[in-house]
Amino acid sequence: MEQHSIHIQSRGRGTIAINSEIDQLIRKSGIDTGLCHIFIHHTSASLIITENADSDVRRDLENYFSKIVVDGDPAYFHDQEGPDDMSAHIRSILTQTEISIPISAGRLAMGTWQGIYLWEHRTSPHRRSLTVTLHG
């Protein structure tokens, strides 16, 4: 079992593919069969696995979440950091803070159309910390 810290710089709200960072760690580890666990150390950015072929999927996800989780809803009590503060926490809850993915034949065993994305929910850029734990 080995653990790595990685850092991803976001440019504000949106998704960032992180497959290549993870695959590189797996290749270096030499693990053939096992599991890869990814944990994000924040409550206003999260992780998703979704379609990687057509970027419209992530555009539609963004639009969908903007509709069901309203920024600056006057009902929010927690709004110190602006209209995207509480909505970012809700988006985080509706998606994932951590994901485990099988490692097979020395690489991430995902479907052809699956990509791993860090989803920044704040509108301003943030440096995000993740811990990747590999075991096999």
Q: Which stretch binds a second copy (CB under 8 A): 6-14, 21-29, 43-51?
A: 43-51
Residues 57-96 interacting with a second copy (rule: CB under 8 A): 57, 59-61, 63-64, 67-69, 75-78, 80, 86, 89-90, 92-95
How many Å apart are CA 61 and CA 118, to the nearest integer?
13
Site string for a second copy, 93-112 (x = CB under 8 A): xxx-xxxxxx-x----xxx-
* Interface with a second copy, residue 6, by CB under 8 A: no
Q: Are 42 and 128 within 8 A, CB to CB?
A: yes
Q: Which of 49, 82, 106, 107 binds a second copy (CB under 8 A)?
A: 49
User: What sign does the CA torsion over 8, 13, 88, 111 have?
Assistant: negative
